[in-house]
A and B are shown apart, each in its own frame.
Chain A
Amino acid sequence: QQQVKQSPQSLIVQKGGISIINCAYENTAFDYFPWYQQFPGKGPALLIAIRPDVSEKKEGRFTISFNKSAKQFSLHIMDSQPGDSATYFCAADSQGGGADGLTFGKGTHLIIQP
């Protein structure tokens, strides 16, 4: 049972364009939604995260949009740059759950073409 569904699997965007990656979750107990960025040969690293008390969070060119009723959240990368080319993972967790860490989506391989 996949608790966090991520799409698309891969994405190609022109430099300067907007990259959009979507995730949907099933467990209504989830209350923490981070996005991780992974470059080849490296471990994932936290990019940005949101909690359900807000519908949007912005950090520089990266924005998370959150729709609690639809149980969906998305990552928007504005003015996408070649350096943003990486694999992106959405994830979810519950502060009321056990210490078993994050549930991850399957990842999106993003390529920004110059």
Chain B
Amino acid sequence: DAGITQSPRHKVTETGTPVTLRCHQTENHRYMYWYRQDPGHGLRLIHYSYGVKDTDKGEVSDGYSVSRSKTEDFLLTLESATSSQTSVYFCAISRQGFGGELFFGEGSRLTVL
């Protein structure tokens, strides 16, 4: 157990509404990541963080924003959800940022109607 909690685990929302997913870690790791998983696409990086208030974009960042005000929390926000953002979202943490193991949460399933 890597001490990662994602919330909510399941959410159904309407197109155009804002959504925030939370990732909480108890490991005090510096690096945190948000991935989305879709059939046929595997895992794709949305945003990542390399410290408090330090974030950067990943491969599929359009339509998403993130914030990290505390080491333990990394928030993913969809400002105006669209049906194309229906997906399973995974948070991951890493001790070393590159060339090392990622520990994943159990995922948040988001459905945008």
Main DSSP-derived SS at the B contact region: strand
Contacts of A102 in B (CB 8 A): 102
The size class of the interface chain B forms with chain A is 20 to 34
Q: How far is the CB of A31 from chain B (nearest CB, A)?
A: 7
Contacts of A89 in B (CB 8 A): 42-43
Pairwise interchain contact B106-A95, C-beta atoms closer than 8 A: no
* Cβ of B56 under 8 Å from chain A: yes
Q: How far is the CA of A96 from the CA of B4 in the complex (A)?
A: 27
Pairwise interchain contact B94-A101, C-beta atoms closer than 8 A: yes
Within A23-45, the residues touching B (CB, 8 Å) are 31-32, 34, 36, 41-45
Which residue of B has the minimal Cβ distance to A4?
B42
* Cβ of A106 under 8 Å from chain B: yes
Q: How far is the CA of A89 from the CA of B42 in the complex (A)?
A: 8
Contacts of A94 in B (CB 8 A): 98-99
Q: How far is the CA of A49 from the CA of B99 in the complex (A)?
A: 10
Known: A93-B98, A107-B42. A99 touches B31 (CB 8 A): yes
By a beta-carbon cutoff of 8 Å, the part of chain B in contact with chain A is: 4, 31, 33, 35, 40-45, 48, 50, 56, 58, 90, 92, 94, 97-102, 104-107
Other A-B pairs, 6, CB within 8 Å; known A43-B105, A44-B104, A104-B35: A43-B107, A44-B102, A45-B104, A46-B101, A94-B99, A106-B42
